[in-house]
Amino acid sequence: MRYDSITEAIGNTPLVRIDPAVHGLRHIDLYAKLEMLNPFGSVKDRSAWNMARPGLAGAAERGETVVELSSGNTAKALALLAGMHGLRFKSVTNRMRVPEIKELLLLLGAEIEELPGQSECLDPTDTEDPLTRFHQALAEPQSTYLHTDQYFNPRNTEAHVAGTGPEIVKDLDGRAPDWFIACVGTAGSSTGVARVLREHDPDVQVVGLVAHKSDFIPGIRTIDEVHQVGLFDPATYDTIASVTADEALDGMLTLIRRCGLLTGPTGGAAYHGAVRHLHTVDADSTERRTAVFIVCDRAESYLSYVRQRRPELFGRPAPKNSAHTLTDAEVRAEATVIDTEGARRWLASEHPPLVVDLRGPHAYAALHIDGSVNIVDELFDELVRTGLPFSKNRPVLLACPVGEKSTRYAALLTRMGHPDVRSLSGGIVAWRDAGAPLVRD
């Protein structure tokens, strides 16, 4: 293999069969499409290159900067591509939650701008969202940005129509698999591959995987966030299922420790979601059938993410108190939730609560409840591990973007013995929508 440019090494990734002794399916051959073997490390190399390529000619002369709303793999690929073409790269995001990825982007020469926003993906109807305002500024005629626009750019999907999909068909001797399973971030890879596979066989079943409601799996959306993605069309998927962060880590450990596949969490999520789905249909099969899932990227960038959730893997004691280990039923049973009206009355009462805002510092600085304190959720998580972070004498109101994380922590603090801790129902978004007052730093 000899290349003139590293970009020629993008694509043509291996399709590797998973040992049936590992997944236990009797009638289905399960294959992993190893997108982590792309040269910059992920499935996003294909779409980053396909989106950036048309704008590169003359971009350096025009003094353009490549810009993308990404805090992960797209940013990584674009930073490298920009460097190769004498351009600067700017990553705009609401919060870099995985420290290794932030450090890697800085190493690659990226400039990082963290802006507040409800999530990294834009809500185009929310004109107050600074990320939305930035997105609009990019489209202005005098803009000196080469904006790749991964959530809306059809060239994201087309990269997989041209490459990933046909490669799978070729490696399966000209046939589409019976099932295709992929995690959904921008939806580019799943949409593009599904389109190609259905052209070969309209009966192929496509399973899209998202993160469980209150869970964070770096690189993919939750079921609520996915509808904000311009490229997402529910009709692409026969089934949309969610995977918890815990399940993603189980899948990741199985692929790493038993299959030699050094996958990151979303590869683990795809494996877990695939095997769970396929076990429900395996017994109905008489002939041999085939399924393919995507391994998006590698493990090394997620060590702190894994350490936070599985400290015992790193020889550290399991935390006594963790919101991550509570089940949904436990959260429902133990958390006290209060709506905006109730919270406003409580704040105006003789014994007002301490309001703890668990959002990122930028979102907090933009708008928050007057008098609240900001403890970003990762830090809060560390604090509660060693014991109650507040006196039991002071009631506490917890707030987060939409009320899910705060409910989990309300359940945990109640379990730890705090007599009066409540979660703001619907979070700061519901508070804002109800017209309740917010202040700005």
Q: Which residue is nearest to ligand PLP (CB)?
A: 219
Q: Pick between residue 74 and residue 406 the one whose CB is nearest to ligand PLP.
A: 74
Contact 193, 160 (CB under 8 A): yes
Query: What single letter denotes the amino acid at residue 141?
Result: P
Q: Which stretch binds ligand PLP (CB under 6 A): 40-48, 95-103, 367-375, 417-425?
A: 40-48
Contact 360, 113 (CB under 8 A): no
Q: Pick between residue 189 and residue 254 the one whose CB is nearest to ligand PLP.
A: 189
Neighbouring-strand partners of residue 90: 67, 111
Residue found by looking up tokens 């790269």 in the block: 89
Q: Which stretch binds ligand PLP (CB under 6 A): 48-56, 127-135, 141-149, 181-189?
A: 181-189
Coil, helix or strand for 317?
coil
Q: How many residues does the chain have?
A: 441
44 binding ligand PLP? (CB under 6 A): yes
- Kindly write down the DSSP assignment for every residue of 191-243, as one continuous string: HHHHHHHHHH-TT-EEEEEEE-TT---TTS-BTTTGGG-TT--GGG-SEEEEE
86 class by beta-carbon count within 10 Å (0-12 exposed, 13-18 middle, 19+ buried): exposed
Token pair of 124, please? 């185009």
Q: Pick between residue 273 and residue 427 the one whose CB is nearest to ligand PLP.
A: 273
Using CB under 6 A as the binding rule, the residues of this chain from 288 to 317 that contact ligand PLP are: 296-297
Residue found by looking up tokens 């002939």 in the block: 287
Contact 188, 220 (CB under 8 A): no
> How far does CA 181 lie from the centroid of its chain?
16
Q: Which stretch binds ligand PLP (CB under 6 A): 10-18, 183-191, 349-357, 385-393?
A: 183-191
Contact 338, 379 (CB under 8 A): no
Q: Pick between residue 33 and residue 44 the one whose CB is nearest to ligand PLP.
A: 44
Q: Which helix (H) or strand (E) holds 245?
A: helix 245-259
186 binding ligand PLP? (CB under 6 A): yes
Q: Pick between residue 46 and residue 405 the one whose CB is nearest to ligand PLP.
A: 46
Q: Pick between residue 218 and residue 319 the one whose CB is nearest to ligand PLP.
A: 218
Select the residue interacting with ligand PLP from 25, 30, 32, 43 (CB under 6 A). 43
Site string for ligand PLP, 61-90 (x = CB under 6 A): -----------xxx----------------
Site string for ligand PLP, 90-129 (x = CB under 6 A): ----------------------------------------
**Beta strand residue intervals within 171-238, DSSP E:** 179-183, 205-211
Q: Measured between alpha carbons, how far apart are the two ends of the chain, in Å?
A: 56
247 binding ligand PLP? (CB under 6 A): no
**What does residue 300 show for φ and ψ, rounded to 5 degrees?**
-60, -30
264 binding ligand PLP? (CB under 6 A): yes
CB of 79 to ligand PLP, least distance (A): 14
Q: Pick between residue 184 and residue 400 the one whose CB is nearest to ligand PLP.
A: 184
Calpha distance 312→306 (Å, rounded): 10
Site string for ligand PLP, 265-284 (x = CB under 6 A): -x------------------
Q: Which stretch binds ligand PLP (CB under 6 A): 42-50, 118-126, 238-246, 314-322?
A: 42-50
> What per-residue string of b and e applies to 97-115 under the rule 16 or more CB within 10 Å gives b?
bbeebbebbeebebebebb
185 binding ligand PLP? (CB under 6 A): yes
Select the residue interacting with ligand PLP from 190, 372, 374, 406 (CB under 6 A). 190
Calpha distance 366→374 (Å, rounded): 12
Q: Pick between residue 146 and residue 296 the one whose CB is nearest to ligand PLP.
A: 296
Q: Pick between residue 81 and residue 375 the one whose CB is nearest to ligand PLP.
A: 81
Using CB under 6 A as the binding rule, the residues of this chain from 205 to 244 that contact ligand PLP are: 219-220
Residues at the site binding ligand PLP, with contacts judged by CB under 6 A: 42-44, 72-74, 183-190, 219-220, 264, 266, 296-297
